[in-house]
Amino acid sequence: AQSVAQPEDQVNVAEGNPLTVKCTYSVSGNPYLFWYVQYPNRGLQFLLKYITGDNLVKGSYGFEAEFNKSQTSFHLKKPSALVSDSALYFCAAGDNYGQNFVFGPGTRLSVLP
Amino acid sequence: EPEVTQTPSHQVTQMGQEVILRCVPISNHLYFYWYRQILGQKVEFLVSFYNNEISEKSEIFDDQFSVERPDGSNFTLKIRSTKLEDSAMYFCATRPGTFAANIQYFGAGTRLSVL
């Protein structure tokens, strides 16, 4: 069975500093990995995905994520955090056919001015 | 940019009542999903729907739940005889039919409050 872990409930970072939100996964077969962001009272907004190809994927709003097969990780990163990046971030894994996603528990990112 | 639309944004109901949550998928999307997020907890898969039938469902999706596309466009989740523990945020998601484009696009959700 697929599973996704986000070891940190909360990440605090100062504005302008780099940020990392961690995600590890356990899937059978090839991993299909995604990051979504949830702002207050909003739905889940797609940020980026890894299906195949380069291990470093770039997404919306300056975010990127690095796929590391040996460590089964897919950490979300941004070189310079903005206060507006403060939100709840979810890592998700899909199966080969893009069927149901398994979500991690979420990490709340707070960017402090 | 096209988006998934969910109505209502907030639904309050009495325990034991039936509710129907509605979703308008992005046009030309063929796969539809419902997820649930209990307050403070993770997003959980409920059911996926393709070609007018359920393709996969979780153990959460028991006989209390049903889905359909009543008019070929809207995608609905019906919860019969609601329970207090059904209170949650319900998200609809859709994706195109092509294999490679397996991003799921989520609606803003419906907050269900069962009293």
pLDDT tens for B52-78 read 899 889 999 999 999 999 887 899 999
Percent of chain A with pLDDT over 90: 70
Q: Does B58 touch chain A (CB under 8 A)?
A: yes
pLDDT of residue A97: 58
> Do the Cβ atoms of A43 and B109 come within 8 Å?
yes
The pLDDT tens digits of the residues spanning B13-37 come to: 999 999 999 999 998 888 899 999 9
Q: How many CB atoms lie within 10 A of CB A2?
A: 17
Q: Which CATH fold would you assign to the domain B5-114?
A: Immunoglobulin-like (2.60.40)
Domain ranges of chain B: 5-114
pLDDT of residue A98: 55
Residue A89 has pLDDT above 60, yes or no: yes
Which tokens sit at B27? Answer: 């046009």
Report chain B residues whose CB lies below 8 A from the CB of A100. 33, 45, 48, 56, 58
Answer yes or no: are the C-beta atoms of A15 and A83 closer than 8 Å.
yes
Q: Does A40 touch chain B (CB under 8 A)?
A: no
Q: Does A36 touch chain B (CB under 8 A)?
A: yes
* Identity of the residue in A42, A97, A106 whose CB atom sits nearest the CB atom of B42: A106
Q: How many CB atoms lie within 10 A of CB A8?
A: 16
**What is the extent of the structural domain holding A95?**
3-112
Report chain B residues whose CB lies below 8 A from the CB of A105. 41-42
Stretch 47-66 of chain A: residues touching chain B, C-beta under 8 Å: 49, 51
Q: What is the rounded distance in angstroms from the CA atom of residue A91 to the CA atom of residue B15?
A: 33
Q: How far is A30 from chain B (nearest CA, A)?
A: 13
What's the domain count of chain A?
Answer: 1
Answer yes or no: are the C-beta atoms of A75 and A47 closer than 8 Å.
no
Q: By CA distance, what is B91's nearest residue in A?
A: A43
The pLDDT tens digits of the residues spanning A29-41 come to: 788 899 999 988 7
CATH code of the domain covering residue A90: 2.60.40.10
